[in-house]
Structure 1
Amino acid sequence: MTSFAGPGFSRRGFLKAGAAVGGGLLISFALPGVMDDTQAAEGDFSPNAYIRIDRSGKVFLIIQPVEMGQATYTSMPALIAEELEVSLDQVVIEHAPADDKRYANPMLGFQVTGGSTSVPANWKPLRQAGAAARTLLVTAAAQQWSVPVESCKAENGAVLHPESGRKLGYGELVDAAAKLPAPGEVELKDPSRFKLIGTPAKRTDGPDKVRGKAMFGIDARPEGVKVAAITICPVIGGTLAEVDDAPALAVKGVHKVVRTKDAVAVVADHMGAARKGLAALSIKWNEGENAKVSSGDMLKNIKEASKGEGVQARAEGDAQGAMAKAAKKVEVTYQVPFLAHACMEPVNCTAHVRKDGCDLWLGIQVPARAKTLAAQLTGLPEDKVVVHNQLLGGGFGRRLETDFVGHAVEVAKQVDYPVKVIYSREEDTRHSTLRPFHYNHLSAGLDEQGRPIAWTHKVTGGSIIARWAPDRFMNGIDGDAVRDACGPYAFPNLAVHYVRHEPPKGITPAFWRGVGHTQNAFMVEGFMDELAAMNKVDPFTYRAPLLEKHPRALKVLEMLKEKSNWDSPLPAGQGRGLALTYCFGTYAAQVAEVSVDASGAVKVHKVTCVVDCGIPINPDSVVAQMQGGTIFGLTATLFGNITFKDGRVEQANFDSYRLLRLNEVPPIETHIINSGESPGGLGEVSTVVIAPAVVNAIFAATGKRLRSLPVDPTQLKQA
C-alpha cells in the first residue's frame, strides 16, 4: 500500500466531512486544477464533487462527467468503490448541477465531458475521496469499540474488528463519522490489492437502458409540455423571410407557428401533428451570401490557402537544412472531408421560459454553457436558469454545442408552457456542426537507407479552438488542429505549420470524436506506410527505430504483429494494413484485413486492436470502447462526407449519410496491455486508427494509394 497526500487534502485542506441533510455522512472535496492557492488562503472552499453515504449504507456520488455511452457511470463508481470497500452496485451517480466553476473538469478548467478526460481527470481524486470516507468510517467504529484504529478494517460496506468478531455496517456509522474532522492524509491501495479496478464489470446504466427506464433528453416530459418540429433555413447562414401560419394551424393538434431569425417551428400536442403542420407550410427564405456555396469551390479555395507558409506550431532540429541534404525527398497531399456526428438521439431540448425563471431538460456535454446561453437569451440572471441534464444518446462532440438550446429557448419564449424542440434526422444532419475539412501537405527527407531524417507537415483548415475556446487559440495556432501531426515518432528534424482557413460563414468547424487526431493520424500513418512500401520494408520494422522514446508503443506493435497473424498468408485479393497512435494518454494500434471487389467496393474482414491505456478500470468497457470507436471511425472511412451545393448540405437521412450496417461490421478483436501506468483516455482512440489501417490495407490488396476520405470505389474499380 502506498501513502499519498492528495492534492490539497493536507496541504491545502480541500476536503471536508460533515453531516448530510437528513442524516448520514457527506464528503465534499475539490478536484485539483480548479481552485488556486489564493482562494485556498482566503478560505473559499467550493467543493466540486461529493460523496454522500446515507443511513442505509447507500453511497451517492455527485461528479462532473456525464454518461453518453462511454461507461462513465460505471468507471467513476469503481474508483470510489475500490477505496471505500463497497460493491459497485452500492454507488449511485447523480448528475452534477450546471456550474462552470464548482463542477469544472479538472483537466480542462470548466464543466465539460469530452477529450477522453473523464477517467484520467478523476483517477486519483475520486480514489482519494473514497479513501477519506473509509478512513472516517473506520475511525468512527474504532472509537465506538474503544480499540486502536489499526485493529479494524473495512470490508464489503462494513467495518470489522477481526479480533473480537464485531462488525458495523457503514449505515450504522455515518452519523458518528460525520462528526469527525476530515483526514489530513489518506492512504491509497497499491494496484496489486485492487478488487474492482482491472476486473470486468457489468454496466451500471445497462439494465435501465435495456428496460426502457433510462431518461434521455428526448424522454423529458414536464407537466404541460408540448412538442415542436423545427425547420431551419436550408442555406447555411440564411434567414427567414415570410411564412403563412394558416396551413399549419388547420392541422388538428397544432397550437402555434413560431418564428425565429432563421427557423420556423410548429408547436403541437404531439410530434405527428407538429411534423404534419410543418410540412403544410410554404416558407420563403432569405438565402443570403452563401446561396452559391459549393464543395468544389471550397476545395479550390483551401488548396490555394494551403500554399501559404502558415504559423510554425512545432520545430525540432533543422527540418529545412536536413531536407536539402536528404538523399531523397517525398512530398504528398492528403485531405479529409467535413463530417457530421449522426448521434442516434437527434439533438433536442425542452425549455420552459417564465418571467421568473427558465428550466431546460436535455442531454448535453456542456451544461453550464447551456445555462449561460439561456440566461443571455431570456435576460434572466444565471441563477434563475436550471439545467436538468439527462443521459445522452450519443455525443461525439455534437453535444458540446448549444445551437439547439438556443432554438429551443427562442421557441419557448413565445409560448407559456414547456416545449420540447426536436430536430428531425434531416435537420440534424443538414445543420450539424462539422468536423473541419482539412487539406494538408506532408514531406519527408530520406537518407541513403530510406529512413526519414526530416519531416514536415503543414495543416490547413478551419479552427475549432478559435471559436470554441478563444483564450486557448494562441499565436495563430489551433492546438487541436496540429495534434498528431508527426504521430508518436521521434524525427531528428521536424517542422509543423498551421494555416488557418475558415469555411464560409455559417459552416461551423467543431469537435468530432477524436477530432485533430483522426485527421492527422490518417495522414501520418498513411504517409509512413507509403515510405515503408517505397523502401520495401515491413511497416512494423520501418516504424520501430522512430519509437525508441516510446517503449510502450513498441510493446503494442509487438503484440499486434503476433495477434493479427501479420506474417501469415492471405487469400488472393486481400491485404492487411497497420496504423499506430499515441493519443489522449493511450497507446493503440490496429491491423485491418480488407478485400476490394471488381466494382471497387471495400469489405473489411477483420480488425485486430491492441491497446495500452495504462491500468484498465473495466476491461469490458475497454473492449466496448475499442469496438464502438472502430465502428464509428469505419463508418466515416467508408462513407462519411458532408458536401454542399447551392449553399445547402446535400446529405439528409441515413440513406444519403450512410452508417455502417450490422451485416457490414467486421469481427473486432481487442487485446489489452496493462502497463501499470495511470489510465489514459479511451473513448476516441480506435476512431483515430481505423481509417489509416483500412487505407493501408487497401494498398496492400490493390497497390492503389488513397490520400483522401471517404474511400472512393471509383478509384479502386478494376478496368
Structure 2
Amino acid sequence: METLLKTNRRNFLKIAATAGGGLLLGFNWSSCDSPKMKVVTDEEVLKNALNFNSYLSISPDNHIVIYSPNPELGQNIKTSFPMIVAEELDADWSKVRVMQAFLDNEKYDRQVTGGSGAMPHSWERLRKAGATARQMLLEAAAKRLDVSMDELSTDLGQVVHQSSGKKITYGELASDAAQVPVPENVELKKPKDFKIIGTSVKNVDNRAMFTGKPLYGLDVYKEGMLNAMIQRPPFGMKLKGVDAEAAKKVPGIRDVVTFKNNVAIVGDATWPIMKARKLLKIDYEPEDDKLESTDFHNQLFKDLLEKGKGEVKRKDGNADAAFRNAAKVVKSEYQCPFLSHSPMEPMNFFAHVREDGVELIGPTQTPDRARDETAELLGIPKEKVTVELTRLGGGFGRRLRADFVVEAVELSKMMNAPVKVTWTREDDITGGAYRPAVRYRFEAALDKNNQMIGYKLRGVGINAGNCTREHNFPSGSVDNLLIESIEYKSSITTNAWRAPITNFLAFAEQSFLDEVAEAAGKDPVDFRLELLDRAKKSPVGEIHYDIDRMRGVIELVAEKSGWGKKSGVAQGFSVYFSHRSYVAQVAEASMAEGSPVIEKIYAATDCGIVVNPTGADQQVRGGMVDGMGHAMFTNMTFTNGVADQKNFDTYRLIRMKETPEIETHFVDNGIDPTGLGEPALPPTGGAVANALYKATGKRLRNQPFTEQEEFKGFKLGDRA
C-alpha cells in the first residue's frame, strides 16, 4: 500500500500493465511528486510564427504548428485532424507540432466532441486550411524565383523548382507567404495522391502520456488554487440541514459551504478534503413522495408497454392488418438498465472568477456550453469567459454536460479564489447522468412463404426522449411497419451515453431479427440480405441508410469470418448503421468446461476514407470491448433514489482476460470520412448474444447477460 500512496501517473501506467486481468488503481495522495499543468505554450516553437489561418502557423525556423480545435477524449482527433492539414500542406510530419486550440467560435464553428461528427464536419475545412497555406507558399516562391507557379511543386515542407532542382523550405518562405492575399479557391488533392492520410501515425500525445506529463484536467495546477469536493443529494432528495463542525476542524480545510442542494468542502489538497467529507452530518428530505427504485422501474416498463400511449414515430402500410393475416407471429421483449459513463478520469474542472473575466481550464466535450453556462450564471458577456481545453481521460457523452464546470465557477465566486473541483469515483457512479434504462417490445409477422410482412417496435425509455431510431434498418424493407416511443420523466438524470439509444437498441433489434430468421427457417445473414434486396428493389417509405454500404460490410465480414463454414464454434451475426457509418460483426463462441466463451469477434467497418489506420483500428476495438463489456456485465440499480453500485467493486466492468481476440477490416470505397467514435459499439452486443444462443440454446434478451436467468448455471470462461 505504501508504494501506491507515493505513485504518480507514470508509475500507475507501469502498475496497470502488470495488473493482469484485474483492476488495480494507483492514487497519488501527496502533491509533491505530481507534475503540474501550466498554461499550454511553447515559446520556442511559437516565437515569430506566422499564422496562415486558424489551423496552422509556420515559423521562420521551419517549425510548423497545427492547431487541433476539438476536444480530445481518446478518439484520436488530435492526431487525425493535423494529419489532414499536413497532407494538403505537403508538410514534413517530423517537423509538425500539434497544439490544442482554445475555445474560439470565430475561428472554429464546431468545437464539440460528440455524435461521431467531428471528422465529417471538419474534413473539407481542414483540407482547405492546408491547401490554402500551400498555395500561398507556392505564390511566394514563384515571386522569389521569378518563375511560373506551374514550374513549382511541394514536398516534405519544401517548394521545389522542378527544372533547376532548387528547394526552399516553408520556413524560409513563411514571411513572404504571409503577405500573399488569401486565395478564395484552392485545388485539393486526389485521394490517390495522399502521402500522410491512410498511413499509420502514432498518437501525438503518446510520449507525454507514457512519461506522465501533465495533459489532463486532474493535472491542472495554478498558484493559489483551492481544491474542492462536493456532497450531492440522492435523486429526488433535497438538502435539509448540515453539521460541518467536525469537518471544519480537519487540518487543511478552508471552509464548508452550501449552494443549491450541495455541500462543498474546500481545502488545500484532496486528501484532507476526503477525510473531512466523511465527518459531515447531512440531512435530506424528499422533494416529493416518490423516491424511485429499480423494482418500480421494472413494473413501470410492463405497465407502459401494455397501456401507455405511444407517440407514433413511423407508420408504413397497415401493420395491424398484416398481423391479423399472418401465418406466424414472433414476439419478444428486451430491456437494458441504467449505466454510468465511468470514464477513467472522473469529472473535474478549474475555474477562476475575477473582476475582469473568468478563466476555465479542464476536460469538456462542449467548451462552448461551459462558457455559455458560466456567463449565464454570472450574468456577464460570453466574451469575458476563456476556456482552455485539456485532454479528456474518457467522456463517452458524460462531458457533454457542464454541471461540473458550473460547480467550480460557483465555488470560485463564493471563495473569491481559483478553485478546482474534483469528483471521486463514487461521486461519478452515484451522481452521474446515466445511460437511460429502456424496454422494447418487438413483433414480426410472417406469411406462409416465411416473408416478413409486418414489423412492430414499441419502446419505453426513462428520460430517453425518443428511444427508437425509426428510420434505421429494417425500416424501408417491410411493407407494414409501426414504430412507437414512450418517455417516462424521472428524477434520475440521464445523458447521451456512447452511441446514444443505439448502444442498446442495436442489440435488441439484431437479436430479434435472428429470432425472426430462425422462425422463418433462414440463415441470419441471408435473411438480412433478403430484406436489403427488398429495400433496394421496392423501398417502403423513406430510406435513411445506404443499402449498398450496409450490404458491403455484411458481405465482407461474412467472407473474413468464414460465416457458416466452420465447425467447433458457434457464430453470431450483427450489423448496424449509426452515426453515418456501417459496422458488421461476427462473434464466435465455444464451450469450455460446460460454459460459453467468446473467443473472437470479426468486424467489417465502412467509415469512408480511413485517415489513420492505427487510430481507426483502435477505435473499432475499443468500441467493441466497450459494447461487449457493458452487455455482459454492467448494471446500475436504485433503492429509494440512491444508486446501489458505488465503485468498481460492485459496478462490474469487463476485465482484460475476458476480452476476446478481435480482427478488424475496413471497406475502401474512397468516400469522405463518415465518423468512427461510436459506430463499432452498437452491433457488438447483438453479435455476442447471437453467438451465445448458438452455443447454449439460451436466448438473452436483457442486459447484463450474466445476471439473467438464462445464464445461470454457466460460468464465464476464462480466456487467460
Using the size of structure 1 for normalisation, the TM-score is 0.87
Matching of residues 309-328 of structure 1 within 5 Å? 309-328=309-328
Q: Quote the offset at 1:629 in angstroms.
A: 0.7
Q: Any idea what the Cα deviations from partners look like across 1:189-224, whole Å, max 9, x if unmatched?
A: 111111111111111121111111141111110111
What's 1:71 paired with? 76
Equivalence map 1:377-396=2 (5 Å): 377-396=377-396
- In the alignment, the residues of structure 2 paired with residue 177 and residue 402 of structure 1 have an alpha-carbon distance, to the nearest angstrom, of 41
1:491 counterpart (464, 474, 477): 477
Distance in 1 (alpha carbons) for counterparts of 2:167 and 2:201 = 27
Answer yes or no: is the 8 Å Cα contact 1:529–1:539 preserved in 2.
yes
1:624 aligns with 2:609: no
Correspondence 1:27 to 2:52:
yes
Kindly report which structure 2 residues correspond to 1:19-58, keeping only aligned pairs within 5 A, or say none: 25-28=50-53, 49-58=54-63
Match of 1:697 among 679, 691, 699: 691
Query: What are the residue-to-residue correspondences of 1:277-676 with 2, within 5 Å?
Result: 277-289=276-288, 292-306=291-305, 307-463=307-463, 478=466, 481-483=467-469, 486-487=472-473, 490-505=476-491, 507-548=492-533, 549=536, 550-571=547-568, 575-595=570-590, 603-676=597-670
Deviations 1:295-335 (A, max 9, x none): 11122223322333422222334434434433322222222
Residue by residue over 1:65-92, the C-alpha shift from the partner in whole angstroms, topping out at 9 and shown as x without a partner, is 2110110011101111111101334443
Q: Tell me the amino acid that sits aligned with residue 561 of structure 2.
A: S
Partner of 1:32: none
Cα separation, partners in 2 of 1:493 and 1:463, compared to 1, 3 Å = farther
Separation of aligned partners in 1, 2:323 and 2:450? 13
Verify the 8 A CA contact 1:352 1:358 in the aligned structure 2. yes
**Within 5 A, what are the aligned runs for 1:100-179?**
103-105=108-110, 111-179=111-179
Compute the displacement of 1:99 (Å). Answer: 4.6
Mean Cα displacement is larger for which, 91-100 or 556-565?
A: 91-100
Q: Is the 1:452–1:491 contact (alpha carbons within 8 Å) kept by the matching residues of 2?
A: no
Go from structure 1 to structure 2 and tell me whether the alpha carbon gap of 1:496 and 1:203 turns closer, same or farther (over 3 Å shift). farther
Label 1:616 to 1:554 Cα distance change in 2 as closer, same or farther (>3 A). same
Corresponding residue number in structure 1 for 2:190: 190
Deviation at residue 53 of structure 1 after TM alignment: 2.1
Preserved CA contact (<8 Å) 2:229 2:265? yes
> Cα offset for 1:167?
1.1
Pairing partner for 1:716 from 711, 715, 718: 711
Q: Distance in 1 between matches of 2:472 and 2:519?
A: 19
Letter in 1 for 2:671: E
Residues 207 and 488 from structure 1, CA distance in 2 versus in 1: closer, same or farther, beyond 3 angstroms? farther
Q: The residue matched to 1:196 in structure 2 has which SS?
A: coil
Trace 1:201-212 onto structure 2 (pairs within 5 A). 201-212=201-212
Distance 1:489 1:310, change over 3 A: closer
Q: Cα gap change, 1:713/1:498 in structure 2, threshold over 3 Å: closer, same or farther?
A: closer
Shift of residue 23 of structure 1? 5.2
Amino acid at match of 1:562: E
Question: The residue matched to 1:501 in structure 2 has which SS?
Answer: strand
SS in 2 for 1:627: helix
C-alpha displacement of 1:274 = 0.7
* Equivalent-residue separation in structure 1 for 2:598 and 2:508 (angstroms): 20
Quickly say closer, same or farther: Cα 1:90–1:289, change in 2 above 3 A: farther
| Contact 2:68 2:78 survives alignment (8 Å) | no
Answer yes or no: is the 8 Å Cα contact 2:596–2:696 preserved in 1: no
- SS for the counterpart of 1:52 is strand
Provide the C-alpha distance between the structure 2 equivalents of 1:494 and 1:165, rounded to a whole number of angstroms. Answer: 69
- Measure, in 2, the Cα distance between the counterparts of 1:496 and 1:521: 17
Is the deviation greater in 613-622 or in 245-254? 245-254
Specify the SS of the correspondent of 2:414.
coil
Q: CA 1:287 to 1:103, structure 2 compared with 1: closer, same or farther past 3 Å?
A: farther
5+ residue gaps, structure 2, are: 1-44, 537-546, 715-720
Please state whether the residue corresponding to 1:525 is helix, strand or coil. helix
Secondary structure of 1:685 counterpart: coil
Q: Give the Cα separation in 2 of the matches to 1:483 and 1:123.
A: 26
CA-CA distance at 1:533 after TM superposition: 1.6
| 1:24-45 C-alpha deviation (Å, 9 max, x unpaired) | 54333xxxxxxxxxxxxxxxxx
- The answer to whether the Cα contact below 8 Å between 1:104 and 1:112 also exists between their aligned partners in 2 is no
Rounded to whole Å, the distance in 1 between the matches of 2:201 and 2:451 is 45
Which residue of structure 1 aligns with residue 20 of structure 2? none
Matched-pair contact (CA < 8 Å) for 1:575–1:595: yes
Would the alpha carbon gap of residues 169 and 494 (structure 1) be closer, same or farther in structure 2, given more than 3 Å must change?
A: farther
Where 1:414 maps in the other structure, the secondary structure is: helix
Amino acid of the residue matched to residue 449 of structure 1? N
Aligned-partner SS, 2:460: strand
Residue 617 of structure 1 and its aligned partner are, at CA, apart by 0.7
Does structure 2 conserve the Cα–Cα contact (< 8 Å) formed by 1:651 and 1:657? yes
1:611-669 per-residue CA deviation (whole Å, 9 max, x = no partner) reads 12111111111110111111111121012221110111111100111111111111111
- 1:102–1:329 Cα change, 3 Å: farther
Distance 1:434 1:596 in 2: 34
Distance 1:457 1:508 in 2: 25
Q: After superposition, what is the alpha-carbon deviation per residue over 1:240-269, rounded to whole angstroms, capped at 9, x for unaligned? A: 222222211221211111212222221222
Distance across 2 between alignment mates of 1:589 and 1:70: 20
Equivalent-residue separation in structure 1 for 2:247 and 2:309 (angstroms): 54
Amino acid in structure 2 at the alignment position of 1:493: D
Contact 2:463–2:493 (Cα < 8 Å) also in 1: no
* Alpha-carbon contact 2:575-2:585 (below 8 Å) kept: yes
697-706 or 82-91, which deviates more: 82-91
Q: Give the CA deviation at 1:101.
A: 6.2
CA distance in 2: counterparts of 1:94 and 1:396, whole angstroms: 23
1:341 Cα shift? 0.3
Report the more deviating stretch, 485-494 or 239-248: 485-494
- Shift in CA distance, 451/701, structure 1 to aligned 2, threshold 3 Å: same
Mapped to 2, the partners of 1:602 and 1:351 lie a distance apart of: 50
Query: 1: CA distance between counterparts of 2:666 and 2:409?
Result: 45
Residue 332 of structure 1 aligns to a residue whose secondary structure is: strand
- Look up the equivalent residue of 1:587 and give its one-letter code: Y
Residues 262-297 of structure 1, C-alpha deviations (whole Å, 9 max, x = no match)? 222212221111100111222222233266311111
8 A Cα contact 1:484 1:521, kept in partner: no
Report the CA distance between 1:100 and its aligned residue.
5.1
Change in CA separation of 1:100 and 1:177 when aligned onto 2, cut-off 3 Å: closer
SS at match of 2:526: helix
Q: Does the aligned pair in 2 maintain the 1:613–1:681 contact within 8 Å?
A: yes
CA shift in 2, pair 1:650/1:485, >3 Å: farther
Corresponding residue SS for 1:256: strand
CA shift in 2, pair 1:406/1:598, >3 Å? farther
Number of equivalenced pairs: 656
Q: Is the Cα–Cα contact under 8 Å of residues 228 and 422 in structure 1 kept in the other structure? A: yes
Unpaired segments ≥5 residues, structure 1: 1-19, 29-48, 106-110, 466-477
